[in-house]
Structure 1
Amino acid sequence: MNSYRYRVTVEALTGAKGEPVEGRTLSFEAANHDDILGIVERMRARLPFDSDTVASLGVGLKLFSEVALMQRNDPMFATIRPALGEFVRGLKQRPETVGSGGPGRLL
C-alpha cells in the first residue's frame, strides 16, 4: 500500500495546573494513506475553530482512522466504525467559509 510517512512529536509544555514541564516528549512514526498536512489546511477553510484546534482534530482523526482501517478485523473497532464513517462524511460535506482557499477534497 502506498502511504505517506510522518514523524509525530508531542512535547509537554505545562502540567494540569499550568506548571512548566520540561523533558517530556513522545515521538513516533506513522504511515497514512492521506496527505495529513494538506487535509489540515483544507479543514481550516471549513471549520470555525482556531488553527491549533483544527490541527489537533485533523491529525488525531487521521491517525485514529488509519489505525481503525488497518485493524478493521479487530472486534475492538466494530462499534466505532459506523460512527466514525458518519462523522467523516459529515465533515466532508461542510461548506467552505468565505475567503477560504477554494474547493478541494477535505478528507
Structure 2
Amino acid sequence: MSAKAGTTLTEMLLALTIVAACELLTIPFVIQPDLSPGRFIAQVLPLQARAMGEGREQTAQIDGGQTGRVRIHYNRKGRIDQARTVCFSRRCLVMELAGGRIVEK
C-alpha cells in the first residue's frame, strides 16, 4: 500500500468549504418571500376604489392568511366599517377605521 491511497484532512476541509460556500449563495434564491399581504391589499384596494367611485357600499370575503376569511365592508365614501388586524406568516396589516387605510404593523 502506498501513503497516497486516501484523502488528506486539508483536501476534505477544502471540499467542505466549497460546498458550504455554494450552499450560502443558493439559499436566498430558494426561500420564497411571503406575498400574501400584497395579494390581500391587491384585492382590498379595488373594492375601496369601487365604493368611492360608484358611491355605493361594497362587501367582500377575502382570504386573510392566518386570520382566515375576512369580511371587508366599505361604505359609499370608501371608509371601512370595522377596524381589524390581519396577520400573515411574517407580517400583520392593520386596517384603520376612519379612512380605511391599511398600514403594516
Shared fold per TM-score greater than 0.5: no
Q: Given the two structures, how large is their TM-score scaled by the length of structure 2?
A: 0.27
Q: Which has the higher strand share?
A: 2
| Higher RCO (C-alpha 8 Å, min separation 6) | 1
Q: Given the two structures, how large is their TM-score scaled by the length of structure 1?
A: 0.27
